[in-house]
Amino acid sequence: MSSATHPAASTAPASTKENRFVFKVALAATMGALGFGYDTGVISGALPFMTVPMAQGGLGLTPVTEGVVTSSLVFGAAFGSLMAGTLADKVGRRTTLLGLSLVFMLGVLGTALAPSVAVMVAMRFVLGLAVGGASATVPVFIAEMAGPAHRARLVSQNELMIVSGQLIAYVLNALLAHFSDAPHVWRYMLGIAAVPALLLGVGMLFVPASPRWLASKGREQEARAVLEQIRSSEQQVEREMAEIAKLNKTEQEDAHMRAGWSAVLDTPWIRKLLWIGIGLGFVAQFTGVNAFMYFTPIILASTGLGTNAALTATIGNGVVAVIATFIGIALIGKLGRRTMLMSGLATVIAAQAALGAVLLWMPDGLAKSYAALACILCFLLFMQMLISPVYWLLMSELFPMRLRGVLTGSAVACQWIFNALVALVFPVAMARFGSATFFVFAAINVGSLVFVATCLPETKGKSLESLENFLQKELA
C-alpha cells in the first residue's frame, strides 16, 4: 500500500527508514574515501622498508625513486578524477564506484606483489586512478542521495573518512613494524588496502543508483522509485522530482555551453574563476601538507629517531588530522572562507619556518625529534582545520552550475598534479638542500597568502544562485 494512501500513518516509519537507508548508502560509498585515505597514508610507513636492497626484502629505492613511487599514485589520481567525472555522467555514480572498487583491488594486489620498482610505479599509478576517481565520485553520489537535512553532514563525513583512513594506515604501519620481523613487511602494509576496496564493491551491490542521474537519462520512474526509498514523505518525493525535472530542462537548453570550453574561453569572469580554482589547488598542496603525510617517518629518522619509533610517532599525524577535521567542520559555517584560509596560511608559514630552524640548528637527539614532531603536528592541526575543508567547500560552490562539472574536474585534477609535484620533488630536495627545504615552503606560502588576500572573493552567506551573480559582478 503506497504512502500516498495513508500519509499520516507512514510518516514516522518512513522518516526512520530514510535515515537508516541514507546512512547505509553513505557508509557504503565512503569506503571509497576510507580507501583513498589509507592508500595515501600507508606509503609513509612502507617507504623506509622499501629503501633497503632487494636482496633484503626491499626494492632498493633511492631518493629519486622514492619520489617517483610516491608521486605515481598522485599523477594517476589526476587522470582518475578527470575520467571519473565523465564516466559517472555516462554510466552512473553507483556503476562507476563499482568499477573503481575493481581498479582499487587491482592496484592493491599489484603494489603488494610488485617485484620491481617499474612494476611498483605502474601499479601505484593504477591505484591512483581509483583514488582520484573516488575523490571525484563519492561526494557527488552522497550529495545526490542524501536529503537536504542530511547532505552537509554526510558529505563532510567523506573528508572525515579520508583522514580516518590515513590514521588507520599509520596505526597499522606502526603495529606491523613493531611485531613483524619479516623484511617484506611493507607488502602486508600495502595489501591491507584490499579491505576497503572489497567493502566498497560489496556495498555498492546493495544500494540503488542516484535518482538525479536516473532522471537525467530519462528514467523518471526509476528515479521516483529510488526517491521513495530514501525520502520520508510523498510530498518530498514530488518536490524533488519537480526540481530535478526543472534542472534537467535548464541543462538541456544550455547543453552546448556545458559540453565545450567555448564558454570558459570566451567569458572573462569564468576564466578568472578557473584560474582562482587552480590557484587554490596550488595553495592547498604547496603548503607542503603531503610532504608530512607521506614522509614524516623519513623526516623524523633524519633527527636520529629509529624507524619503528618514527612510525609510532607518525600516528600523531592521523590523530591530529581527525581532531582538526571535526573542529574545521564546526568552524566552517561560522567563519568566512577568506578568514579561515588566511589564518591557516599564517600558521602554516610559522610552523614551516620553525621546523626548518629545529632541523637546522638543534643537535641530533630525542629533544630534536620531539621538537620536529611538535612543529609537524602544529602544522597539521591548522592545515586540516582551516585550509583543507575550505578548499573542498570552495570547489563545490565557486563555479557556475552549467559548467560546474568541467571546471571542478579541471581544478581538482590540477590540485592532484600539484600534490604529485610535491611528492616527487620533496625527497630529492631533502637529500640536496636538507632543512632549507622547509624555508622554501614557508616562502611559497607567503605568496599563497598574498594570492588569497588579493584574488579570492568571500563566498560565505550566499546561495549558489546569488553567488553566481555576485562572482560575475565581482570578477567582471
Rg of the chain over CA atoms, in angstroms? 23
Give me the chain's average pLDDT, please. 80
Rounded mean pLDDT of 281-305? 80
Q: Are 409 and 82 in contact (CB under 8 A)?
A: yes
Q: Which amino acid type is present at position 81? A: S
C-alpha cell of residue 376: 609537524
Proportion of the chain in helix, strand, coil states, percent, rounded to 5: 85, 0, 15
Residues written for the chain? 476
SS3 430: helix
Give the count of alpha carbons within 13 A of 333, CB side only: 7
**Residue 20 CA from chain centroid, whole number:** 25
Q: Are 82 and 181 in contact (CB under 8 A)?
A: no
Most confident of 34-38, 342-346, 360-364, 422-426: 342-346
Q: Are 140 and 87 in contact (CB under 8 A)?
A: no
Q: Are 39 and 100 in contact (CB under 8 A)?
A: no
pLDDT at 241 over 80: no
Tens-place pLDDT, residues 417-440: 898 888 778 878 888 888 888 999
CA gap 371, 359 in Å, rounded:
9
pTM of the model: 0.74
CA gap 45, 188 in Å, rounded:
11
Tens-place pLDDT, residues 365-405: 788 888 888 898 899 899 989 998 888 778 767 777 566 66
Q: Are 297 and 429 in contact (CB under 8 A)?
A: no
**Alpha helices (H) along 254-306:** 255-259, 262-266, 268-285, 289-301
| pLDDT (0 to 100) of residue 320 | 87
Tens-place pLDDT, residues 259-271: 455 666 667 788 8
Residue keyed to cell 546493495: 206
Q: Residue 170's closest CA among 8, 373, 389, 7? A: 373
| pLDDT (0 to 100) of residue 1 | 36
CA gap 64, 59 in Å, rounded:
13
The secondary structure of 78-128, three-state, reads HHHHHHHHHHHHHHCHHHHHHHHHHHHHHHHHHHHCCCCHHHHHHHHHHHH
CA gap 331, 389 in Å, rounded:
10
| pLDDT (0 to 100) of residue 102 | 95
DSSP 8-state class, residue 305: -
pLDDT at 141 over 60: yes
| pLDDT (0 to 100) of residue 247 | 61
Given pLDDT bands bounded at 50, 70 and 90, which one contains residue 10?
very low
Tens-place pLDDT, residues 76-133: 988 888 887 778 777 888 899 999 999 999 999 999 999 999 999 999 999 999 988 8
Given pLDDT bands bounded at 50, 70 and 90, which one contains residue 155?
low
Which domains does the chain carry?
Answer: 10-207 (1.20.1250.20), 258-476 (1.20.1250.20)
| pLDDT (0 to 100) of residue 112 | 93
Using alpha carbons only, what angle is made at residue 151 by residues 148 and 152, rounded to the nearest 5 degrees?
115
C-alpha cell of residue 464: 549558489
Q: For residue 457, with 0-12 CB atoms within 10 Å meaning exposed, 13-18 middle and 19 or more buried, which class applies?
A: middle
Q: How many CB atoms lie within 10 A of CB 250?
A: 12
SS3 51: coil
